Structure 1
Amino acid sequence: MRANNLTLLTDLYELTMMQGYFKNPTDQTVVFDMFYRDNPCGGAFAICAGLEQMIEYIENLHFTKEDIDYLRNLHLFEEDFLEYLSNFHFTGDIYAIPEGTVIFPREPMVKVIAPIMEAQLVETAILNIINHQSLIATKAARVCYAAKGDGIMEFGLRRAQGPDAGIFGARAAVIGGCIGTSCVLTGQMFDVPVLGTHAHSWIMSFPDEYTAFKTYAKLYPNACILLVDTYDVLKSGVPNAIRVFEEMREEGIPLTRYGIRIDSGDLAYLSKEAYKMLAAAGFDDATISASSDLDEYLIESLKAQDAKINSWGVGTRLITANDNPAFGGVYKLSAVRDPETQEFIPKIKLSENTAKVTNPGNKTVYRIYSKSTGKIKADLICLAHEKLDENDTMIIFDPVDTWKKTKVLGGTYQLRELLVPVIREGRRVYTSPSVMELRDICLKEQETLWDESRRFVNPQKVYVDLSPKLYTMKKELIEEMSQKDLDF
C-alpha cells in the first residue's frame, strides 16, 4: 500500500482515449483545469491539500512490465500503443495552488499543460488525490474553528474508508488545523505529533477502575489523561481520577499534562460537574477532553453551553467528512495550443446548467487583499498573459449576476497570484513545506477571511470574478457555439 508507482490508478477510459489519440496522431498540447463548483459542508471556502502526493505521483509515473502485461491481457490495446506506454513519462508543466491555501469555487486549483495523451492520463489520479485531502482539510478547518483555539486531535483511523484514507486523511486534517493524530503511520511518514490516551478495555481489564488509573499514571506520568466514563463519570470515574492525581501530587510527580476524557453522555453537563469536582480538589488546570461522535456543529453547541472542555478528540465525522463525503472537483479541457502560432485556442463546455459552463482559455488566478485589513476582497480569474497593476482602479463583477459590481480603488489593495509552477517539463520545481509548516500556513490563510465567511449557517460567499478579457472571451464563445447549434 506504500508503493510509489500508481500509474494504473486511472479510469479505463483514460487509456482507451490515449490509444485513440495515439492511432490518430496529433501534435496537440492542451490545458486542463482542475476546479470545484460548490464549497463542501455548505461553507464559504475550502482548503487546498494533497499537492505533495500529486507531485510524487507525477514523478513516479511509468508503466512497469507487469503493468504492460496486464493491459495486454485486457485485449483492448494494440502492441504499438503498449510499446509507447512502456517508455512513457510525463513531459508537461503543472501549476497548482499551494497546500493550506484558502480556495473558492470555479478557480483552477491545478492547471496541466501537456501533450493531450499525457494530460488525459493524469486526470483520475489528480482528482483522487486532491479531492480527498482537500475535503478532509476543509472539514478539519471547520472543526478547529468551532473549538476556538482548543486543541483538536484527529483520531478517525479505524473509521476511515481504508488505510490510504486514514493515513492521508490524517495528514490533511493536520494541515487543516488539528494538533496531531492517533495514526502512528501518519506520524512516521510526515513527522506530525501522534496523540492518544487509553481505551475502555484498559479499565475493564483490571479488577477495578482505581487500579487501572493508578497503573496508567505510573507508566505515563507526563501524559496522564484518564478515561472516566467506563462505569459512571461522576460517581466513579472522576473521583478515582482525583484520587490518583492527589497521590501523584503527594509523591512529588509534576502534573504537567494530565486530566480526564469523557467519551459518552451529556458532555456539557458532565464536563461542568467534573470541573467543579476537579477544581475543589485543587486541579482546576486539569485537561478535560471530550470525544463521542463530535463535529463542528456539536462542538459549537457545547461551547455555547459553556461546557468545561478544552481538548477535543474528533474521529468519524472528520475523517469521513460525513455530512459531505465527496469534494466534487472536476478536470476540464480549457485550451488547445495551435502548433503553428503556438497560441492557445480557448475551448468551452456548455450546459443547460449554468454552473457547469466552463471558463475557457489558459488562465491564472489573482487574490485581491484589502491593504487596510489584510482580508480577502475577491479572487479574479484572468487569462495567463494578463498583467495587473495594483495602482489601477478595478471594476470587478459577478460573472453570472453581472449587475453585482464592486469598485476597487487603485492603491487600496494588494495582489497575489495563486497558481505557482510545481512541474516543469516533467520535473519537480517545487519544494513542499512540512505538514506542520503547512498547518501554520493554513491557520494564517484562514485569518484572511472575514468572520462572516467562516460561520457555519448561511456564510457570506467570497466573490470569484472573471477579468473583463476572460468574460468577453467566454461570452463570445458561448454565442459562437449557440449559433452553430442554430445553424445545424
Structure 2
Amino acid sequence: MNGRTSLLLTDLYQLTMLQAYFDQRMADTAVFEFFVRTLPDNRNFLVAAGLEQVLDFLEDLQFTPQELAWLAACGRLHSRFVDSLRELRFTGDVQAMPEGTIFFADEPILRVVAPLPQAQLVETRIINLLQFQTLVASKAARIRLAAPESLLVDFGLRRAHGAEAGLLSARASYLAGFNGSSTVLAAMQWGIPIFGTMAHSFIQTHERESDAFEHFARSHPQASTMLIDTYDTEAAAHSLVPLAHRLAREGIHIQAVRLDSGDLAGHARKVRLILDQGGLTQTTIFASGNLDEYRLAEFIAAGAPIDGFGVGTRMNTSADRPYLDCAYKLQEYAGVARRKRSEGKATWPGRKQVYRSYGADGCMSGDVLTTADAPACGQPLLVPVLRQGRRLSSSPALDAVRDHARAELARLAGNLRTLTPAASPYPVRIAEPLSRLAAEIDKRA
C-alpha cells in the first residue's frame, strides 16, 4: 500500500524491549526468520506473499516528531531512550523467497539481519503483512486449482476485515492466479484488472426489470453484465433475450449474466438453455455468493455451465482456516546461533537456507532445510533482496510475480494439488549440519 505505516502500529512489548536493550547497550547483529510452524489442516502447501509491503515498510522506517512526542508523554518510556529513536532507521539486510514461491512448514521465507533493536522492532508488522497475504494467496491458489479454466474475480472488499485487508487481499489473490478484482484502488495501485456488474438496488429502482437492463446496457455498452436474480431468475433471462437482440442491432452486446443466489448450478443450467435457445450463445454466465474452492470443485465436477465466479468473503478471510501458525524468531545474536526450546514451539537455530529439487517430470520432489553455510543439492530459495536498508533491485511487476506463482503451481505434484490432505506430504528433510547445530546448542544449554 502507498503511504507510510506508523511505527506505533506495533505491540507495546517491542518498545519496552527496545528500551531494555538500550539500557543494557545491546545492539549487536541479530538474525530473525519468519516461518510457518505447521501447515493448516487440509493444506498441502502455502504461497509466499507480502514481501513487497515488508520491504516498503523497512525502507520507510522512521519515527515522526508527533510519534516521539506521544512516546515521551505516555509515561512508559524514559526520555533518553525516546530521544535515541529520532535517528532510528533500518540499516540491515533481508533475504527472502520471491513472492509466489511455494513453501512448506518450518521453511523460512524471510530472514532479517540487523542490529538487535531494529530487527526486534519490525517483528509485529512483518508478521502482520506476511501472514495475511500468504494466507489469502494460498487460499486463492486452491480456488484456482479447483477451477483452472474459469474467470475468477475477487469480490471480497466489503466483508474484508478492514480497508487494508480488502486491498491487500485483492493483490494476494491476483498474485495467486485470480483474473482480477472488484476493488478499484487495486487497479490504480497495481494495475490489477477490475470487474463489476450491477446492484440489486439498480433493478429495484425501476418499475420494469427489462428497463433496468436496457438502461444499464446503454450506460455501459462495453461492459454489460446483467444481474438477473433480483426477482425470478429464469423470467429475467427470458426477458433479456429480445432486449439483447434489439440492442445488438445498435452495436450493444450483453456480455454476461450474473447469478448471486439460490441453487446456482440449477439456475445456470436453466439460464444457459434459455440463452442458447434465444440465440445468445456467446453470453456467458457468472456466479457469486458464498463461494470457495469446495463449491467451485462441485460445480466443475457436476458440469454446471458457469463460466466465471466472483469469490469474496470465504477467500478474503480464508474462512475455513483463518490464520497461520507462524512466527518471527531470533535465530542468532552476536555471532552465536540461538534456539527456542519451548514445548511445541522449538525452533531450528541459526541462519538457514532451503534447497529444492525437481524430478524428471519437472515437479518439485523435495526440499532440504540446512544451515546457510552448508550448501545442499538443489535450488536455493532464499535470495538477497535488501542490503543496508535498501532494495538491491527494483520491485518486480505484479504480473511477473503472478507468472512465477503460476509456474510454481504447475510444478506441484498431482497429490499436492488436491483439496484434501495428501496421503504422502511433501518431503522436507532436515540436513545433518542443522541437526548437529541444534544438538550443540541443546548441549550448551
TM class by shorter-chain length? over 0.9
Provide Cα deviations, 1:187-207, integer angstroms capped at 9, x if missing partner: 111111111100111111111
How much has 1:2 moved relative to structure 2? 5.3
Establish whether residue 423 from structure 1 lines up as the match of residue 414 from structure 2: no
Provide Cα deviations, 1:106-132, integer angstroms capped at 9, x if missing partner: 111110111111110010110001111
Instruction: Supply the AA of the counterpart residue of 1:29.
Output: T
How much has 1:295 moved relative to structure 2? 0.5
Distance 1:27 1:293 in 2: 50
Q: For structure 1, which runs of at least 5 residues remain unmatched after alignment?
A: 338-343, 391-414, 482-488
- Corresponding pairs, count: 444
**Alignment map for 1:385-464 (pairs within 5 Å):** 385-388=373-376, 390=377, 415-459=378-422, 460-464=424-428
Distance 1:453 1:110 in 2: 23
Name the structure 2 match of 1:332. Answer: 329
1:362 corresponds to which of 348, 351, 356: 351
Provide Cα deviations, 1:168-210, integer angstroms capped at 9, x if missing partner: 1111111111111111111111111111100111111111111
2:293 corresponds to which of 289, 293, 296: 296
How much has 1:41 moved relative to structure 2? 5.4
SS at match of 2:331: strand
SS at match of 2:356: strand
Name the structure 2 match of 1:109. Answer: 109
Establish whether residue 169 from structure 1 lines up as the match of residue 169 from structure 2: yes
**Alignment map for 1:60-209 (pairs within 5 Å):** 60-209=60-209
Distance 2:272 2:370 in 1: 55
The question of whether the paired residues in 2 share the 8 Å contact of 1:100 and 1:175 is answered with yes
Establish whether residue 373 from structure 1 lines up as the match of residue 361 from structure 2: yes
How much has 1:56 moved relative to structure 2? 0.5
Name the structure 2 match of 1:286. Answer: 283
The question of whether the paired residues in 1 share the 8 Å contact of 2:41 and 2:421 is answered with no
- Shift in alpha-carbon separation, 1:329–1:352, aligned structure 2, 3 A: closer
Instruction: Supply the AA of the counterpart residue of 2:110.
Output: V
Instruction: Supply the AA of the counterpart residue of 1:290.
Output: A
SS at match of 1:37: strand
**Alignment map for 1:224-243 (pairs within 5 Å):** 224-234=224-234, 236-243=235-242
Q: Which moved more, 1:39-48 or 1:316-325?
A: 39-48
Distance 1:364 1:430 in 2: 21
**Alignment map for 1:206-285 (pairs within 5 Å):** 206-234=206-234, 236-249=235-248, 251=249, 253=251, 255=253, 258-285=255-282
2:440 corresponds to which of 447, 459, 476: 476
Name the structure 2 match of 1:402. Answer: none
Identity %, equivalent residues? 37
Instruction: Supply the AA of the counterpart residue of 1:465.
Output: R
SS at match of 1:26: coil
- Shift in alpha-carbon separation, 1:211–1:254, aligned structure 2, 3 A: closer
The question of whether the paired residues in 1 share the 8 Å contact of 2:357 and 2:364 is answered with yes
SS at match of 1:457: coil
- Shift in alpha-carbon separation, 1:196–1:181, aligned structure 2, 3 A: same
Distance 1:385 1:352 in 2: 28
How much has 1:332 moved relative to structure 2? 0.8
SS at match of 1:36: strand
SS at match of 1:326: coil
The question of whether the paired residues in 1 share the 8 Å contact of 2:218 and 2:252 is answered with no
Name the structure 2 match of 1:346. Answer: 337
Structure 2 length normalisation: TM-score? 0.96
Provide Cα deviations, 1:75-101, integer angstroms capped at 9, x if missing partner: 121121111101111111111111111
The question of whether the paired residues in 2 share the 8 Å contact of 1:217 and 1:244 is answered with no
Distance 1:2 1:28 in 2: 32
Distance 1:267 1:278 in 2: 16
SS at match of 1:333: strand
SS at match of 2:282: coil
SS at match of 1:329: strand
2:371 corresponds to which of 379, 383, 386: 383
Establish whether residue 30 from structure 1 lines up as the match of residue 30 from structure 2: yes
How much has 1:221 moved relative to structure 2? 2.4
Instruction: Supply the AA of the counterpart residue of 1:424.
Output: R
SS at match of 2:218: helix
How much has 1:437 moved relative to structure 2? 2.2
The question of whether the paired residues in 2 share the 8 Å contact of 1:43 and 1:454 is answered with no
Distance 1:129 1:241 in 2: 45
Distance 1:429 1:217 in 2: 49
SS at match of 1:178: coil
SS at match of 2:38: coil
Provide Cα deviations, 1:288-307, integer angstroms capped at 9, x if missing partner: 10001101111111112211
